[in-house]
Amino acid sequence: MIHAPFDTFRTVPSPVSLQTSSTIVKAGIIAAGEGSRLRSEGISLPKPLVTVDGVPLIERLIRSFIRYGITEIVCIVNERSLEVKQFVEGQRFTIPIQFVVKTTPSSMHSLFELSPHLMGGQFLLSTVDSVFSEEEFSKFLEYAHHRGSVDGILAVTNFVDDENPLYVQVDKRMRIAGFGSSFESIPEEQQDSLPKGIPSGRDDTRVRWVTGGLYVLSPRIFKEIDAVLKQKIERLRNFFGHLLKNGYTLEGYPFSKIVDVDHVHDVQTAEELLKNLESRHGV
């Protein structure tokens, strides 16, 4: 089994200056999953502590959030992953990190457990296993802040390397019309191009967008908690579908590439992404 001691982790370099273009200040991190696929491939660490380029996933995420103006973070971990909480509490982060320790049946239930900490305005939500460009992340936050009238902005990417991706139906303004388990299930008229002012990773007009594990949401969505629990809806993707059916407005924001670390080979893919980003910026 692969198990790296904490003292082998490489710390993310501190930023030269704090970026504060966004006024979204609250963030929730869902880190309560089992990481069963990674464990079946020989990694005994809890997924949040799996390293990409020497840095644990959860540390990379937290430092990115702090770099771009987040001042309040709450993270949910399951009851069998207390070492994740211990690791984070042992770091010298510049803001306090709150924890909810609870084993939940799905990511949707994890979000609901975080909800008391995410009231008062737009908030950022992320799964712990997303690796992305910080430059695109900064623009995502800024764009979402100026779209406060909508109920959610979902990061989407045309990089698909997942056995169970969630495809997104959008119109020409990137307003989400629905979700699908495959691109072929999306009506052709909804396989549309990007509006002006939003960057794209490709130029064609039939982009296969999938969700990327980053969301900016309004606490208005929590009005639906009782309804979805009564209907026994599970999983975050199904919750988003419920929101659409009940008149909530969701939009997509494109990233060129987001890597979801579910398998050992995803670690290499994520490291290649970071290496390419560094070379592009001359780091």
CATH number of the domain encompassing residue 111:
3.90.550.10
106 located within any domain: yes
The pTM of this model reads 0.84
Q: Which tokens sit at 263?
A: 């398998």
Could you tell me if residue 67 is inside a domain? Answer: yes
Is 177 part of any domain? Answer: yes
Q: Which residues of 216-250 are buried (b: 16+ CB within 10 A; e: fewer)?
A: bbbeebbebeeebeeeebbebbbbbbbbbeeebbb
* Number of domains comprising the chain: 1
91 part of a folded domain:
yes
Confidence of residue 188 (pLDDT cuts 50, 70, 90): low
| Domain-located, residue 231 | yes
Exposed / middle / buried, residue 184 (Cβ in 10 Å: 0-12, 13-18, 19+): exposed
63 vs 136: CA distance, rounded Å: 15
Indicate if the pLDDT at residue 2 is higher than 70.
Answer: no
Mean pLDDT across 172-200: 63
> What integer pLDDT is reported at residue 183 of this predicted model?
59
- Is residue 237 in a domain? yes
Q: How far is CA 171 from CA 108, 181, 272, in A?
A: 26, 18, 32
Read off the DSSP letter of residue 70: -
Instruction: With cut-offs at 50, 70 and 90, classify the pLDDT of residue 272.
Output: very high
Q: Is residue 1 situated within a structural domain?
A: no
Strand partners, 52: 55
pLDDT in tens, 119-160: 999 999 999 999 999 999 999 999 999 999 999 999 999 998
Q: With respect to residue 165, please indicate whether it lies within any of the assigned structural domains.
A: yes
Range(s) of the domain holding residue 58: 20-280
